[in-house]
A = this chain, B = another copy of it.
């Protein structure tokens, strides 16, 4: 049974830029020496990798991991784990030897037999790349005591996909950029990021759309650069994006404060009163509402609550919470009901 609690650490608000940087994720890709990569493993070998990792993870005291085979979960339960950002979307269709080990506080998750044998991820609220890296690194060191990693003196850590070679480190920042998006300035910034070896994706990673003006910015380059340099680069670039978003918000406000307020309150109005709402509209309206809260235009709701609503309004979560099969209309109605119940009545 998957945990339906959405009081996740990364939904909290932490640090001075956490109005724009919702969360930081650091993940490390590792593989076991002298083993085929996960997609090449047969059932026996897959089971061996799984059991070896499981033995090490079960020994761990800090954090204590709850382990579950992904294939044994109901698809909706896997969906909820993806929506909570505990595991990657690739785990929606897991192999029989895919496993997720989640810490009790749900900050840390180790995925076994995803694209690589081992993926360690740490997800923290706000802009905390260094702290997330420290925690992921600590888990990494711990696993390395019992597991010999596939490592090459020239290439560094060996990974299933060459884009992860070297450090195997990917730092991702979940950023909320409504003003840059509304003014269209995000395009030039994202083009610049690409030139600097960074990628921008939607909030559920590769292939997902940038719903709700939420973007994941990650380093593309993992090879020929030190972990510390990756982290510093990402940190500095993120600060620049934050600054650009703040400027764009000021510009929107100067252009027409009343239209700004009107947009924000109309977004609240739809969320608080609609009887049917699709996920794209919910994400868009939650974004404007968050913007209004950030700008001090709306009181009585916190950004923390909004992030929780965002998770609770996701499609798998809605279906799992309903505990009965829902068609598309049923999901949209249940989403509207949830939002109406959770949001306070404001004037």
B-binding residues in A (CB < 8 A)? 258-259, 261-262, 265-266, 268-270, 272-276, 329, 333, 336, 340, 345-347
With a CB–CB cut-off of 8 A, which chain B residues contact A275?
258, 261-262, 265
Measured in the bound complex, the distance between the Cα atoms of B272 and A207 in whole Å is 38
With beta carbons under 8 angstroms apart, the residue of B258, B266, B274, B329 that contacts A273 is B266
Task: Using A340-B347, A345-B345, A347-B345 as known contacts, say yes or no to A259 and B272 having CB atoms under 8 A apart.
Answer: no
7 example contacts (A-B, Cβ-Cβ < 8 A) are as follows: A258-B275, A258-B276, A262-B275, A266-B269, A266-B270, A340-B347, A345-B347
Chain B residues near A329 (CB-CB < 8 A):
258
* Residues on the B chain within 8 Å of A259, using CB: 276
Given contacts A262-B275, A265-B274, 11 further A-B contacts (CB under 8 A): A262-B274, A262-B276, A262-B336, A265-B273, A265-B275, A266-B269, A266-B274, A269-B270, A272-B347, A273-B346, A345-B347
Chain B residue with the shortest CB-CB distance to A330: B258
User: Which residue of chain B has the shortest Cβ distance to A256 in the bound complex?
Assistant: B329
Nearest CB on B from A281, distance (A): 11
Residues of B within 8 Å of A266, CB to CB, are 269-270, 273-274
Q: Does the CB pair A258–B347 fall under 8 Å?
A: no
Sorted from nearest, which 8 A-B pairs have the closest CB atoms? A269-B269, A269-B273, A262-B275, A262-B276, A261-B275, A265-B273, A345-B345, A265-B275
A268 and B273 contact, CB distance less than 8 A: yes
- Chain B contacts of A261 at CB under 8 A? 275
Which B residues lie within 8 Å of A347 (CB)?
A: 272-273, 340, 345
Bound Cα distance from A35 to B275, whole angstroms: 63
> Considering only CB atoms, which chain B residue lies closest to A260 in the complex?
B275
- A234 → chain B, closest Cβ, in Å? 38
**In the complex, chain B residues whose CB is within 8 Å of the CB of A340:** 347
Chain B residue at minimal CB-CB distance from A347: B345
Q: Which of A268, A275, A340 counts the most chain B CB atoms within 10 A?
A: A275
A261 to B268: give the CA distance in the assembly, Å: 18
